[in-house]
Amino acid sequence: MDIDTQIKEHFRRITALAHALQPITEKVVVVGASAVLLHWLHTRKGQPLMYVEARPTTDIDIAVQSPDLARELVSEHKELVLQALCPLSADDGRRGVGFLPHIKFAFEDFITVRLKDELTIRAAGAVALYVLKLEAITKPYRAKKDSDMRDLYFLLNLYGEEPLATMCLSFAGRNEVISSLRRLKKLLAHELAPGYKLLFEEMNLPFPSETWVIARFDRFFYELTQAGFSLE
Report the DSSP pairing between strands 98-99 and 110-116: unpaired
Q: What was the pLDDT predicted at 102? A: 85
**C-alpha angle with apex 181: 107 to 122, nearest 5 degrees?**
20
Q: What was the pLDDT predicted at 142? A: 47
Burial of 6 (0-12, 13-18, 19+ CB in 10 A): middle
What percent of the chain shows pLDDT beyond 90?
Answer: 54
Does 144 have pLDDT greater than 60?
no
What is the chain's length?
A: 232
Q: What was the pLDDT predicted at 57? A: 77
pLDDT in tens, 70-82: 989 999 999 999 9
Q: How far is CA 216 from CA 8, 74, 211, 223, in A?
A: 29, 38, 9, 11
Q: How confident is the model at residue 175 (pLDDT cuts 50, 70, 90)?
A: very high
Q: How confident is the model at residue 143 (pLDDT cuts 50, 70, 90)?
A: very low
Higher-pLDDT residue of 89 and 58 is 58
Alpha-carbon gap, residue 229 to 182, rounded angstroms: 9
Other Cβ atoms less than 10 A from the Cβ of 18: the count is: 20
Q: What was the pLDDT predicted at 164? A: 97
Any idea which of 43-47, 92-96, 192-196 has the lowest mean pLDDT?
A: 92-96
Q: Which of 46-50, 97-101, 130-134, 218-222 has the highest mean pLDDT?
A: 218-222
DSSP letters, the chain, are --HHHHHHHHHHHHHHHHHHHGGGGGGEEEEHHHHHHHHHHHHHTTPPP-TTT----SSEEEEES-HHHHHHHHHHTGGG-EEEEE-S-SS-STTS-EE-TTGGGGGTSEEEEEEETTEEEEEE-HHHHHHHHHHHHT-TT-S--HHHHHHHHHHHHHH-HHHHHHHHHTTTT-HHHHHHHHHHHHHTSSTTSHHHHHHHHHHT--HHHHHHHHHHHHHHHHHHHHTT----
pLDDT in tens, 124-139: 999 999 999 998 776 6
Q: What was the pLDDT predicted at 41? A: 85
Alpha-carbon gap, residue 8 to 174, rounded angstroms: 36
Distance of CA 201 to the CA centre of its chain: 20
Q: Taking all residues of the chain, what is their mean pLDDT, rounded to a whole number? A: 86
Higher-pLDDT residue of 200 and 167 is 167
Torsion of CA 24, 124, 147, 132, to 10 degrees: -110
Does 48 have pLDDT greater than 60?
no
Does 194 have pLDDT greater than 70?
yes
